[in-house]
Amino acid sequence: MPNISKENGKWMIRWRETDETGVHQRRKRGFNTKKEAEAWYYFHYKEYEEKEKAVAVTTAEPVESDPNSIMFADLAEAWLVYQKNRVKESSYVSNVNRVRNIIIPAFEGKRVSDIKPLDILHWMEGLQAKYAFGYAKTLYTRLASIYRYGVKYYDITNVMEKVDRPRNTQPKKQMQVWTPEQFAKVIEQIDDPEYNFFIRTLYLLGCRRGELQALQWQDIDFDARTIHICHTITNKTTAGPWAMTSPKTTGSDRKIKISERQMREFRDLYDTRHPSPDHFVFGILRPLPEQTIGVKFRAAAKAAGVPQIRIHDLRHSCASYLISQGVDIVTVSRRLGHSSVKQTLDTYSHMMPSAEDLSVKIMDKIV
């Protein structure tokens, strides 16, 4: 395991590396945050480990020609290699974390033939006691995907077919949103003009944090008063602490109409900086750091005396306000960049009581 420490205001990472000449002490300095140091170690140093594991899995032979005798850890690593060029990089990084930190340790040292349906059921019960249902279900689907891969390419027996899918027995959490009045109190507490503008824009556009971090000047049409959401910033990357990728879904690539007042703010900022088209609107040469955005956001909420919410809940706050003002669900769905109107309805239908009351009155006239 690496040793990460702070030295002269910067983070440094030390680790041991073994090759044919012996054991060597290595170190790397100059990271601004501990998270950056961990990301560098994980993705740059551990690259050779992934290659070694891929070779080991590729050359692994089941004992006595029984496909189910393959080690589960080898099968899971083979699945990761298979997935690497088939999913977005951010998805692959998430898969690596889930598989290596949670799934493989649960079946450490076992062959596929050793794992019974009851073992998986007990594992799932433990996950649902520890994590939110959505995350536990995601782990279940990753394990199911590993087994499907094993059936297709290793001819193993798919015991997952005998395991019931997890059911949500947890009470549904109430969505946390701010009213416009609460948001106004919070935004007054943010003195930094750039972060103030960034968080206000998050609320007014209803976009995701990463989408706004990735906004470049070439994405703004001043004449049409539109913002083109076509990229997102992710910290789940092998390229360093952050990378710019395509949006979450195809529906997330969208153009959002904004008011004249909002566009004047963008124009004033543009005239002040005279940036290049590929400069970030917020952050110039690199996007505003996620950690700093979060720190300023939480501090402002505390100073304003309003309930703490996630920064992603500004998106929900925007949607709830639009719905409360009578904006139709199709328009809200397009503005949020949902993959379908059904997704929007599933998320926000409980915020539409007035429409439900109206339907009752209309049907009552028939009677």
Q: Convert the pLDDT of each residue in 11-64 to its tens digit.
A: 888 877 665 566 667 788 887 777 777 777 666 555 545 554 554 454 445 545
**pLDDT on residue 48:** 46
Tell me the two tokens of residue 76.
């899971």
Does the structure show a pLDDT above 90 at 271? yes
Task: Using alpha carbons, select from 110, 141, 145 the residue that is nearest to residue 124.
Answer: 141
**pLDDT on residue 345:** 81
Amino acid at 92: Y
Domains in the chain: ranges and CATH: 46-162 (1.10.150.130), 180-359 (1.10.443.10)
**pLDDT on residue 297:** 96
User: Which tens digit of pLDDT belongs to each residue from 194-209?
Assistant: 999 999 999 999 999 9
Contact 176, 317 (CB under 8 A): no
Contact 8, 47 (CB under 8 A): no
Tell me the two tokens of residue 162.
């005998």
Helix (H, G, I), strand (E, B) or coil at 235: coil
Average pLDDT over residues 68-94: 90
Q: Round to whole Å and give the CA distance between 91 and 213.
A: 19
User: Which tens digit of pLDDT belongs to each residue from 113-156?
Assistant: 999 999 999 999 999 889 888 899 999 999 999 999 999 999 99
Contact 32, 9 (CB under 8 A): no
351 falls in which pLDDT band (50, 70, 90)?
A: low
| Type and span of the H or E element at 53 | helix 47-59
pTM here is 0.70
Q: What angle do CA 183, 187, 191 make, to 5 degrees?
A: 170
Task: Using alpha carbons, select from 186, 187, 235, 237 the residue that is nearest to residue 210.
Answer: 235
Q: Round to whole Å and give the CA distance between 241 and 230.
A: 20
**pLDDT on residue 47:** 53
Coarse DSSP helix, strand, coil percentages of the chain, rounded to the nearest 5 percent: 55, 15, 30
Q: Round to whole Å and give the CA distance between 131 and 143.
A: 16
- How crowded is the C-beta side of 66, counted as CA atoms within 13 Å? 10
